[in-house]
Structure 1
Amino acid sequence: MLDVPLTTPSIDPRREALYLTLAQVPEGKVVSYGQLGELAGMVRAARWVGRTLSQLPEGTRLPWHRVVAAGGRLSLQSGTPGGEEQRARLRAEGILLRNDRVDMRRHGWHREPGNG
């Protein structure tokens, strides 16, 4: 079951696929917007993923903070409430940030074959 309030009885299948995939990203790992879209079955959907995640309701339990821009770059500005929350959450999970980037080789998530 998804932990996002739904305003209609049925959710858009693309959003549902995105939310289900995002919910699988484990603590201490990150994915890029484009990678998350691809894993959810949508090729070249990085911008759509970003817009959709920006519309998550306050207090969602989905790990939105584990989604970063290409190359591990944090896209939420430092000094903004969302940017500071993302940085704090990533650090709390043991993810080191260097120059507002995450080392994707170390912290990038690669879903195991057969898991979704």
Structure 2
Amino acid sequence: MNDAFAYMVLSAVEEIPEGRVATYSQIARLVGADQNARLVARVLSCAEYYGHYPCHRVVNASGRLAPGWAEQAFLLEEEGVSLEASGRVSLKKYQWKP
């Protein structure tokens, strides 16, 4: 993975305000890599090697949380982002609009 790309992604993630979420594809567009939402997800899965970033604020295009990361729901709820009964985040209500 390219460190410069990783830091561009993580810098964009740092901009997401508390209580809001962004999607992987939204972050990809913000860093000029429109077709690379999966690469954004990969960067976020390794973010701990680069420092502390609010990666919990990034969800998929339908509002689903990252698989296997139970703490994500807790962190979002602490910031006031409530989950729907399906366990998803309402993008209509919580999506960040930079």
> TM-score scaled to structure 2, two decimals?
0.88
Q: Structure 1 vs Structure 2: percent identity of aligned residues?
A: 34
Structure 1 unmatched runs, 5+: 1-10, 78-82, 112-116
Structure 2 unmatched runs, 5+: none
Structure 2 residue aligned with 1:68: 59
Misfit runs of 4+, over 6 Å: none
**Distance in 2, Cα, partners of 1:12 & 1:60:** 13
Matches within 5 A, 1:14-93: 14-57=5-48, 60-77=51-68, 83-93=69-79
Higher gyration radius (CA):
1
Q: Is the 8 A contact 2:66 2:72 kept in 1?
A: no
RMSD of aligned alpha carbons: 1.7
Which residue identity lines up with residue 29 of structure 1 in the other structure? R
**Distance in 1, Cα, partners of 2:3 & 2:53:** 17
